[in-house]
Chain A
Amino acid sequence: MDQRSDTELVRAVRAGDRSAYADLVRRHYKGVFLVCLGVLGNTHDAEDVAQETMIRGYEKIRQLRDAGQFGHWIVRIARNLSINFVRRRAAAERAVGSRPEAPARREGHNDELEEAVARLPHDLRLPLVMYYYDGRSVKTVAERLEISTSGVYGKLRAALRELHDALTARGDAE
């Protein structure tokens, strides 16, 4: 991958170098996708919104004031687009009167756990996904979500507890 800094890559993109943006995608897509997954709860929607986010970032890169803040900026776009998507999806579900079907079960996959994660409220799911799916760094999660590390720990504790309660209740019912 290109060793240039985000600032240099953003300047290159602004000067018309499309390949520089491909390097920014390689560098930041994972963070963007995980934010989308954390808010939306399923990989299919997360892929769509993450792609929309990267395209939006490309279109609006001239509006980024501090080129060195590209990572924070693009994650913020991802979060806003995901929240808007959740609202539109909820409105559509209300209009149709049903929820989308759960994905088919896959061999060797912890579907119960994935479903329980998908049912968490998104303010708990987002830090949980960012922590467990991307290197278990509370500091990174805190920076990306712009909250304190103690705030991240609080969310993770609550998310684990909710997961435990949901999965225990499901086990008891079966």
Chain B
Amino acid sequence: MSGPCEAMQERIADYVLGALDEREAEGVQSHLGACEACQKYLRTLTEHSEGLAALGQHIQMDMRAREDKVIEALETMAPGGSQRSCALPWMGRLLRMAVATVLVLGVGITIGRVTAPEPIDVDQLRADLERSVAASLRPAVEERVDARLEAALTDGQADLSATLTAEVREELKVFGAQLMAGSEAMMDRRLDDFLELIEAARLKDRQRVAQAFEQIELNRMRDVRQLGLGLRTLAVQTNDEPTTMPN
């Protein structure tokens, strides 16, 4: 006897599984009434289906004993979830890893930005140095002025105050001049240092370029020698071969 109809096999499986509606089931039954091969196929699938259900019942018989075994194993454990605490329990492992990666990258980028060398901006450097020197000297100037004014007020002498004011003004002028001179001298020194560094770097670069050119020249000369040798070899071989003419 031939096998079941190819087109009906899925339908018959659905019939066994109870997946067909009433009309579809009637269609299958109608076909089965006229096809012995499909009837046999249905019988076999039904046997398998019942066999599987029986296997399931057999396996379920031992389920309680298996549960007892698990519960017994759990008795020896610490209270739930206390074996390994999690700092962020609401986060999945992947999410925690992603957050950690972002943090590491962020810290790396920040450190990189802070430590990366930047091109020298002379004007900016000058302005920064001026601001820095002025800021460092200003408290000393203010302190000195305050002390003088306080002394004058204590004496209660207006003329002294005027004198002191004039003196303070004079001192401020001197301080201002010293401040400018100091800042310019410091700035010049720093600029000299930077220019020396730049010059040293340029010199080093020039040396490296010169070395590279030397190496290129050496390579070129070696290649020329090899080419000459190759050409001589070719010439010798060409002379050795007998000249043959096609007929």
Contact = CB atoms under 8 A, between A and B. Distances in A.
Interface of A: 13-14, 16, 18, 21-22, 25-26, 29-30, 33, 37, 43, 47, 50-51, 54-55, 58-63, 65, 109-110, 113-114, 117, 128-129, 132-134, 136, 138, 153, 156-157, 160-161, 163-164, 167-168
Interface residues of B, number: 40
Nearest to B10: A157
Contacts, number: 116
Contacts of B89: 62-63
B56 to A, nearest CB: 3
B56 A133 contact: yes
B51 interface: yes
Contacts of A55: 70, 73-74, 77
A94 to B, nearest CB: 29
A16 B54 CA distance: 40
Nearest to B81: A62
B69 A51 contact: yes
B48 A163 contact: yes
Contacts of B149: none
7 contacts: A21-B80, A59-B77, A113-B48, A132-B49, A133-B52, A133-B55, A153-B19
Contact of B70 (A25, A114, A167): A25
Contacts of B75: 18
B164 interface: no
Chain B interface SS verdict (over half): helix
Interface in B31-51: 41, 44-45, 48-49, 51
Interface string B64-79: 0011011101110101
B7 to A, nearest CB: 14
Nearest to B53: A132
A59 B55 contact: no
Nearest to A57: B80
A25 B71 contact: yes
Contacts of A18: 74-75, 79-80
